[in-house]
Amino acid sequence: MNAGRLYDGFLPGRYQFDAYGNGGFRFGDMSHRGSVLALPSGVRAWPVASMADLTDEVLDPIFAEGDALELLLFGTGADIAALPAAFRTRFREAGIGLDVMQTGAAARTYNILLAENRKVGAALIAVP
């Protein structure tokens, strides 16, 4: 096995979050420091530390999921924050439902919907 490919910031598959906080998340028998995208294709590192880091490019992996994703839970960190209108429009045009909340609430809701086998994803900004 190529050790360089052991962890490249992407873990294929769907995993519930076992824990969050301290700047990261635990899932799939591993831990990750920083923000994550949990999508039907897998969980990946996400280069977003705050709402100010949002760009079309960091959202692109979400829209690449196509019909596999019907709802995205967006965890804005420790405090709730509004998603800019241009990004909300992009979700609406793609037919992906969007629910914006604090990261903890988003992670807990994601776990429930994942257990129900829903077509759900989560964009989670890490909290301290």
Mean pLDDT of the residues in the chain: 93
SS3 20: strand
Tens of pLDDT, residues 24-64: 999 999 899 999 999 999 999 999 999 999 999 999 999 99
Gap between the Cα atoms of 43 and 124, Å rounded? 11
CATH topology of domain 9-124: Hypothetical Protein Mth938; Chain: A, (3.40.1230)
Per-residue buried b or exposed e for 8-44, using 16+ beta carbons within 10 Å of the residue's own CB:
eeebeebbebeebeeebbebbeeebebbbbbbbbebb
Domain boundaries, the chain: 9-124
Q: Are 119 and 12 in contact (CB under 8 A)?
A: no
pLDDT band at 9 (very low <50, low <70, confident <90, very high): confident
Sign of the four-CA dihedral 76, 113, 94, 27: positive
Gap between the Cα atoms of 27 and 19, Å rounded? 7
Residue 125 has φ and ψ, to the nearest 5°, of: -80, 125
